[in-house]
Amino acid sequence: MVFLSMSPQTNSVALYLKQSRLLFRIGLCIVLLGGILSLSEVIFELFSLTGHDLVHFELWRLFTHFTIETNIFAFILLVWNLHQVASLIEPNWGMFETIKYLGIVQIGSSLLITIVALLTFVITVNDTFFFRTYIFGLLSACSAVCVAMKQYLPDSVLLTTPIGHIKNTHLPSCILVTASFLVGFGFLRWVSLLQILSGIQISWIYLRFLQPHNGEPRGDPSEHFAWATYAI
């Protein structure tokens, strides 16, 4: 009976995966594989990133640290963001621009955090952040997806509550507030807040000033995408 009741759900998942875009399937495979590999302490330490690693020029970690994830909440957010990328962003931007955007934000964010870790060590002589705080996962890229959704469809309603609507324009704030609560209650690593904050900032700078458009000026000067709107 259990197998019979699960069969329609399994078929629905299989049908969705079959009909989903290639980017989603590739991303999901990488995420699932990374989640499995991160269960190994040896692989986790080999793939993850610290400020100390970059000072020793272990630059390859910039391209491996985001493949692993150990937190179930971050994993759920990542799968949801993969769906948004595949269904909304990649069809409009193209695969190259989408991967370039996410790569710039993810790697740029990790570099920024390692620089902060180094400066913290130099100024305070506290080695915890620099040597023993691991940077991993795709939370910076998840923030970038939320910022892109805010830019592209700011007024789309995601959730209706008794006190108002939650729209795409609120996504960056929502992910930051939710992560803050999870960190406060010990359900998420504290460095994730830095990943999200730096991801929001770098993605906004890229979309606001640098993203190329065919035959048009770079960036997006529209008022709804101004930095002041992130306080809403």
Residue 227 lies in a domain: no
Residue 6 lies in a domain: no
pLDDT (0 to 100) of residue 3: 45
Q: Which domain holds residue 45?
A: 21-212
Residue 87 lies in a domain: yes
Q: Output the DSSP codes for 117-154.
A: HHHHHHHH---HHHHH--B-SSHHHHHHHHHHHHHH-T
Residue 190 lies in a domain: yes
pLDDT digits (tens, 9 = 90+) for 140-149: 999 999 999 9
Residue 221 lies in a domain: no
Q: Averaged over 41-51, what is the pLDDT?
A: 95
Residue 161 lies in a domain: yes
167 sits in which H/E element: strand 164-167
**Is residue 42 predicted with pLDDT exceeding 70?**
yes
**Is residue 121 predicted with pLDDT exceeding 90?**
yes
pLDDT digits (tens, 9 = 90+) for 150-184: 998 888 888 887 877 888 889 999 999 999 999 99
Domain count, the chain: 1
pLDDT (0 to 100) of residue 8: 65
How does the average pLDDT of the chain come out, rounded?
Answer: 90
pLDDT digits (tens, 9 = 90+) for 181-197: 999 999 999 999 999 99
- CATH code where residue 158 lies: 1.20.1540.10
What is the token pair recorded at 133? 């705080």
Is the pTM higher than 0.85? The answer reads yes
Query: Do 206 and 104 touch, CB atoms closer than 8 A?
Result: yes
3-class SS of residue 225: helix
Residue 27 lies in a domain: yes
Residue 225 lies in a domain: no
